[in-house]
Amino acid sequence: MKQRVLIVVSLSMFFQSTWAASVAVVVDVQGGASVKIPGAANKSLSILDYLPEQTEIQLDGKGKVQLVSLRASQEWLLEGPGRYVIQDRSIELLQGKKPAKLMKAANTAGLSAMEAPHKEKMALGAVVMRGESSAKMLGPFDTPVLANPPTLYWEHDRPVKVVLTEAGSGKLIMSKVVDARQLILSKPLPVGNYRWSLRDETKDSVLAEASFEVLAKNDARRRGLEWPVRGAVAQQVKAAAALDQAGFSYDAWLIWKGLAASRPQDEGLQAWVR
Q: Which of 67, 97, 123 is the last residue of a domain?
A: 123
Q: Residue 236 domain-assigned?
A: no
pLDDT of residue 18 exceeding 70, the answer is: no
157 & 112 share domain: no
Cα–Cα dist 271/46, whole Å: 11
pLDDT of residue 62 exceeding 80, the answer is: yes
168 & 209 share domain: yes
Cα–Cα dist 92/20, whole Å: 19
Please report, as a single letter, which amino acid is at residue 209: E
Q: Which of 214, 232, 266 is the last residue of a domain?
A: 214
Residue pLDDT, tens place only, 106-127: 778 899 999 988 888 877 764 4
pLDDT, residue 4, reads: 42
10 Å CB burial of residue 228 (0-12, 13-18, 19+) is exposed
Q: Residue 167 domain-assigned?
A: yes
57 & 152 share domain: no
174 & 101 share domain: no
CA 119 to chain centre: 11
Residue 170: which domain range? 136-214
Of 153, 112, 149, the closest CA to residue 257 belongs to: 153
Q: Residue 272 domain-assigned?
A: no
Q: Which of 123, 151, 179 is the last residue of a domain?
A: 123
Q: Is 257 helix (H, G, I), strand (E, B) or coil?
A: helix
Q: Residue 129 domain-assigned?
A: no
Q: Residue 102 domain-assigned?
A: yes
Distances, alpha carbon 254 to alpha carbons 137, 146, 250, in Å: 14, 11, 6
51 & 89 share domain: yes
CA 207 to chain centre: 25
Q: Residue 12 domain-assigned?
A: yes
Q: Is 126 helix (H, G, I), strand (E, B) or coil?
A: coil
15 & 101 share domain: yes
Look at the chain and count its residues: 274
Q: Residue 98 domain-assigned?
A: yes
Q: Is 236 helix (H, G, I), strand (E, B) or coil?
A: helix
105 & 201 share domain: no
Instruction: For residue 82, name the pLDDT band (cuts at 50, 70, 90).
Output: very high
pLDDT of residue 1 exceeding 70, the answer is: no
92 & 204 share domain: no
Bridge-based pairing state of the strands 206-214 and 143-145: parallel
CB atoms within 10 A of CB 145: 21
Bridge-based pairing state of the strands 206-214 and 192-200: antiparallel
What is the rounded average pLDDT for all residues in the chain?
87
Cα–Cα dist 88/73, whole Å: 11
12 & 96 share domain: yes
88, 52 in Cβ contact below 8 A? no
Q: Residue 259 domain-assigned?
A: no
111, 68 in Cβ contact below 8 A? yes
87 & 153 share domain: no
Q: Where are the alpha helices (DSSP H) in the chain?
A: 2-18, 109-113, 115-123, 233-245, 249-262, 267-270
pLDDT, residue 20, reads: 61
Residue pLDDT, tens place only, 22-53: 999 999 999 999 999 888 888 999 999 999 99
12 & 54 share domain: yes
Cα–Cα dist 166/263, whole Å: 37
Section 254-260 average pLDDT: 95
36 & 108 share domain: yes
161, 201 in Cβ contact below 8 A? yes
Of 44, 40, 15, 45, the closest CA to residue 116 belongs to: 15
The CATH code of the domain that includes 144 is 2.60.40.1220
CA 229 to chain centre: 14
**Total of domains in the chain:** 2
